[in-house]
Amino acid sequence: MSLQDSTSPAPRTALIVDDLAPARAWLRAALLEAFPEASIAEAGSLAEARTALAAFGQPPDLALIDLGLPDGSGLRLIEALQREGAGTLCVVSTVFDDDAHVFPALRAGAEGYVLKDLPAGELARMLRGILSGQPPLSPSIARRLLRHFQPA
């Protein structure tokens, strides 16, 4: 399920990886609003994410991944899913809105980057945009990307 396609089917499976229970609840609420039929697994660490991936039996269609996890960076999970050619659409969900986090996440293969200050309904709207090829990006991240490529 890549944004490279102009339209994508609704994700059937999703993985939420965040060490904070309230953040997982926020992500779950947004996912269920956007894709009520999706089967959702949750993990609070990279180790739990690996266990959840094994339980799925196949890579999930969508993964919402925090960068700061207790046993490492969510970038490792994004890179692993990309290496495996899993077709998982990876979206970073984090509090970090600086170049030192945004650009490595995109280089690792993230196809979206949302900040945790969004209301669940707004995140759900962004996630539904995936179906028409729109990358889920928080407005401040989109502005950061545009500024990065403007002439000095």
Helix (H) or strand (E) holding 15: strand 13-17
Q: Which residue has the tokens 């090829």?
A: 133
Closest CA to 16 of 72, 61, 79, 76: 61
Q: Which residue has the tokens 């060490």?
A: 19
pTM score of the predicted model: 0.90
Per-residue pLDDT in tens (0 to 9) along the chain, 152 residues: 555 555 678 999 999 999 999 999 999 999 999 999 999 999 999 999 999 999 988 899 999 999 999 999 999 999 999 998 778 999 999 999 999 999 999 999 999 999 999 999 999 999 999 888 888 888 888 888 888 778 77
Q: What is the distance between the alpha carbons of residues 25 and 105, in angstroms, rounded to a whole number?
A: 23
